[in-house]
Each structure stands twice: as structure tokens, then as C-alpha cells.
Amino acid sequence: MAALDRSGSFTLGDLTVKRLGYGAMQLAGPGVFGPPKDHDSALAVLREAVASGVNHIDTSDFYGPHVTNRLIRQALHPYPTDLVIVTKVGARRSEDGAWLPAFSRQELTQAVDDNLCNLGLDVLDVVNLRAMFDAHGPAEGSIEAPLTVLADLQQQGLIRHIGLSNVTSAQIAEGRGLCEIVCVQNQYNLAHRADDAMVDDLTRDGIAYVPFFPLGGFTPVQSSTLSNVARSLGATPMQVALAWLLRRAPNILLIPGTSSVAHLRENLAAAELRLPDDAIAALNGIATSIEGDQR
Ligand SMILES: NC(=O)c1ccc[n+]([C@@H]2O[C@H](COP(=O)([O-])OP(=O)(O)OC[C@H]3O[C@@H](n4cnc5c(N)ncnc54)[C@H](OP(=O)(O)O)[C@@H]3O)[C@@H](O)[C@H]2O)c1
């Protein structure tokens, strides 16, 4: 069995992906804006990911904008038949890089067209509607109008499957009443566990939960407990953070981001790391102690 296969697999609609994939956001320039600092290194990371067996890449045309999708196309097109590229729409970038909502029919249709064009595809495998009621975290508000637009584009054959991102449980319920939802992408990691109940609900319902910032995002998680567990297992803290997520629930799919081939290899090796129960217990205490500190 190849190393990455040890992470297991999960289905997004009719598409099967390995549970350990890759998130392309870090390939754009600083602040996810503009070109990468090293174009050839960015291509090398993408090629190494696929060569290592990754068949799930997360992206968006608003990374750059257009930058990560064009890198993916340049590095990997024509794509391996089993590669699933998941993108997201619902936001746009201002001239100075700010993240703004883009929920109108015209903006969503344009975003799907841009993703198709920049990725060089006729159909997008999975499109997440990225809610922007609050750009920094889930906030209530109806997603009926924008989701109806995506469902229409799905009917037209431009989108295979639909997911949601940065959403509340109420929005997931609303979305599931409108169309099939195959995945939810929210912020979650061993130090940020606001979605614990949502993860359990989605496990029960067989829907993928894809945590963004699985390593903590722009400032990776740091914790003495994490470092101690990693040391005791001969692993790195980032590998332990990923292995904890793989163990957390079978419907969790990982898309850790990196602009470095060395970090990519380190992260993918987490597929083979098994955490003993005492390590899990110690790691489960990290979020609790952080919440306690914030009180
Ligand atoms: N739906 C949404 O709203 C949303 C929001 C954010 C992200 N996302 C998606 O989620 C994916 C993952 O999020 P993310 O990339 O922002 O955060 P992440 O995976 O939690 O962490 C990425 C950060 O960790 C560093 N890193 C990665 N591997 C490392 C290692 N082995 N050792 C030390 N540092 C390491 C990276 O720096 P280096 O480049 O130096 O390795 C980068 O700074 C993104 O690529 C994107 O596709 C979605």
C-alpha cells in the first residue's frame, strides 16, 4: 500500500479522494495576492503532491486572484483521471487585496467561468459556496439565492458537486434543502474546535468536513503539549496536528497548505502516523486550555 493510502479515502458525491490532500492557497503571493515568490517552486510543489499520490487539491480563482488556478493548470494539465480539484466562489478581491462578497448571479456565474477557464476544465468537480456574511468566520444569513445560482449552473453541467464554506449549521440545513451538499469547509484544527458538534453531525450524515487552517493557518499552531507529543513519537508537531485530525472523524479530509516541497513531504507522511490513546487525550486538552486562557 502506498504511504498516502494509509490516510484512507472518502467520497465527494461520486468522486473518491484520499483523506490527505493539498490546499493550494499558500502558492499565491503574500496575503494570497499576486504572483508566487518563486514560480518554479510553486510548480514543483504541485507536481510533487500529485507524484506522491495526492488526488484532492483545494483552490479558488480568488487566490491571487487567478494565480493558483493558473499554476495548477501549468503544473498538472492534462490532469490525472483521478485528480479531484475543489474550488470555491462567493468572494472577490479588491484592487488592494481585500476580500469582498461576490454573491450576485452575475458574479457567481463569472466566477465559475473564470475557474473553468483558468483551470482548463469543461466541468468543475466540486464548487464550494464561500459565505461572506462575515469574512472571518461563520455568521447567519440566508444562502438560498446564491446557492440556487450554483444549483442552476450544476443543472447546466458546469459543476459536478456543490459544497459550502464558512457556514453555520443552520446554513448547512438550508443548503441541504436546496441541493445535495457533499462537503463543508470551515476553520478547524486541534486548537480551534468551535465546529465539534457540526463535525459529529456531518459524520452521521456522511458529508465530508474539510477543515481549513488544519495547521493553524498563517501562524501554525504552537503548543508545548503538541511539541511534547511529537517528540515522544519521533514525529513533527505539524504531522501530529494532521494525524489528530485524521483520527478525529472518518469524514474529515485534509488540505494542508504549503509553498515548500520539504513541508509537503513532511505533511503527507502524517498519513502513516498512528497516535496512541494517551497522545489523543493530551492533544484533546489543547483546545480546552486555550479556551480557559481566553476566559
Ligand atoms: N474556505 C476558506 O475560507 C479557506 C480559508 C483559508 C484556507 N482555505 C484552504 O485551506 C487550505 C489550508 O489552509 P492554509 O494553507 O491557509 O493553512 P494551514 O494548512 O493550516 O497552514 C499553512 C501554513 O503552515 C505552514 N506550513 C505548512 N506545512 C508546514 C510544516 N510541515 N512545517 C512548518 N510550517 C508548515 C505554511 O508555510 P510554508 O509555505 O512555509 O510551508 C503556511 O504558512 C488552503 O490552502 C486553502 O486551500 C480555505
The number of the ligand 1 atom at minimal distance from the alpha carbon of 260 is 41
**What does the alpha-carbon distance between residue 162 and residue 184 come to, in Å, rounded to a whole number?**
9
Give residue 249 CA to ligand 1 midpoint distance, Å: 20
79 catalytic per annotation: no
If phi > 0 it is left, if psi is from -120 to 50 it is alpha, else beta; for residue 234 that is: left
Task: Name the residue of 54, 89, 134, 215 to mutate for ligand 1: max ligand atoms within 8 A of Cβ.
Answer: 215
Domains along the chain with CATH numbers: 7-218+251-259 (3.20.20.100)
259 lines ligand 1 (CB under 6 A): yes
267 lines ligand 1 (CB under 6 A): yes
**What does the alpha-carbon distance between residue 23 and residue 43 come to, in Å, rounded to a whole number?**
13
Residue-wise pLDDT tens for the chain (295 aa)?
A: 778 999 999 999 999 999 999 999 999 999 999 999 999 999 999 999 999 999 999 999 999 999 999 999 999 999 999 999 999 999 999 999 999 999 999 999 999 999 999 999 999 999 999 999 999 999 999 999 999 999 999 999 999 999 999 999 999 999 999 999 999 999 999 999 999 999 999 999 999 999 999 999 999 999 999 999 999 999 999 999 999 999 999 999 999 999 999 999 999 999 999 999 999 999 999 987 666 555 5
- Residue 70: all three cell numbers together: 493558473
Where is 22: in which H helix or E strand? strand 22-23
How would you class 234 by CB atoms within 10 Å of its CB: exposed for 0-12, middle for 13-18, buried for 19 or more?
A: exposed
* Atom 36 (ligand 1) nearest CA: 258
SS3 content of the chain, % helix, strand, coil (to 5): 45, 20, 35
238 lines ligand 1 (CB under 6 A): yes
pTM score of the predicted model? 0.97
